[in-house]
Amino acid sequence: MSTFDYDLFVLGAGSGGVRAARLSAQLGLKVGVAEGDKPGGTCVVRGCVPKKFMVYASEVPEQVAYARGFGWEAQTGRFDWTKFRNANLAEVSRLSDIYAANLVKAGADLIPAWAKLTGPHTVHLTPTNGDAPYEVTAKTILIAVGGQPFVPEAVEGHELAITSNEMFLLDKLPKSIAIVGGGYIAVEFAGVMNGFGVDTHILYRGDQILRAFDQEVREHLTQEIGKKGIKVMCHADPKKLEKTDKGIKITLTDDTELTVDQVLYATGRRPHTEGLGLTDVGVELDGDGAVVVDAYSRTAVEHIFAVGDVTNRCNLTPVAIREAVAFVETAFKDNPTAYDYANIPTAVFSQPQIGTVGLTEQDAVARGIRVDIYTARFKPMKTAFVAGESRTLMKLIVDHKTDVVLGAHMVGPDSAEIIQMAGIAVKAGLTKAQWDVTCAVHPTAAEEFVTLRDKRMA
């Protein structure tokens, strides 16, 4: 009989923690999960899910404009932010309840409490209902607490800014907003706010938004969102925020000034490791506070593991889930399993969307791989019919020597849906010739991926 209260104790009920807990409980293990907030984690509660609903809502004016182009007498009417916000939060609560129910159905104990480690096998729990704190022991511990947004304290007046967490809770929509940052979150919220009719600015300190994405993709999206009215300012780094009668005045490092109603900081996320007592029990953290793990998600302490954003390896919900599956195989099924991070497809729900998988052109050049580049730019049928301006970009990166498709990139409607299927082909290592002999589905945008002919060298 075990001398521990639990075979596995999980800190955090996000996507990674829940998957690990459910699979472990289904093996007959005694599993406990501590979560001080709503189950579901960042993705379900304050991330990709409620944000996707915001994207859907913000796309309606453009859809109505298309409707008029197709002959419908359509008008957008007035957008009720409060009604949408409340419905969005209600849906988040419903999904969170499902996460909780699935944990319980699997046989795990879901404990509404904040947790920290006070010993190698001891977890200190502070219940959220005000009950007295207590401790439990566990043979194996999994850290799956995710990350959190932040506003740099070095910026004077930083307390005037909000993060992505607060975007879902706004009392009302601002008339204007400055979004500081140039990654997924910044670009997605820019599209949302612009769609809601908010005067939207992106302030990014680098040369171009979406660092690490393919250069042509970055350029193309910048052009497309500019057509929609989003103002992108690069080499723009705030040094001071100041409340004035007209709003929040932003002073940049070059002394340029901009006044808006709201400032959103979307400059990244930090692993949520502060106050967990990890280093006290021997768990190593890197300079950013992320838990250091090996290929099998094991920390410096043999029986303590970590998955998801808290490790800062590849901060995507589906990756956290795959890491959790690999953890269960490693820790409890005597089958050491390391997740393969190569060729992970991903999407940015910008407007238009980005879908991408595999190497960028710049990646290939940096690695010394001789590649052929295939690209197409075109107006989608729907856009062309209504005399719209937006154009789609599709791009393939192909190994010149082996003909293997090393990367696929798209900017345009339905890119997220299309890249999922393209991701299978890139992951499988299929050649350009195999893409080419695949029959096109006509008329679609996706068919361009199997009809690309014109090429250039990288």
Residues 430, 300, single domain; the answer is no
* 1 in a structural domain: no
Is residue 169 a part of any domain in this protein? Answer: yes
Residues 361 and 289 in one domain: no
Structure confidence at residue 1 (pLDDT):
53
101 and 213 assigned to the same domain: no
Tokens found for residue 90:
């209600």
380 and 437 housed in the same domain? yes
Let me know if residue 164 belongs to a domain.
yes
Whether 389 is in a domain gets the answer: yes
pLDDT at 152: 95
Q: Which candidate in 121, 235, 272, 442 is catalytic?
A: 442
Residue 279 in tokens: 């280093």
Say whether both 21 and 142 belong to one domain: yes
Q: Which domain-ending residue is among 267, 290, 307?
A: 267
In a domain, 442, yes or no: yes
Using a 10 angstrom Cβ sphere, with 0-12 exposed, 13-18 middle and 19 or more buried, the burial of residue 66 is middle
Same-domain pairing of 10 and 134: yes
Residues of the chain with pLDDT below 70 are 1
| Same domain, yes or no: 219 and 281 | no
Say if 153 falls within a structural domain.
no
Domain around 366: 346-457
Residue 158 a catalytic site member:
no
**pTM assigned to the model:** 0.96
Residue 97 lies in a domain: yes
Question: Do 164 and 291 belong to one domain?
Answer: no
Q: Are residues 27 and 125 in the same domain?
A: yes
Within a domain: 386 = yes
What's the structural domain count of the chain?
3
CATH code where residue 87 lies: 3.50.50.60
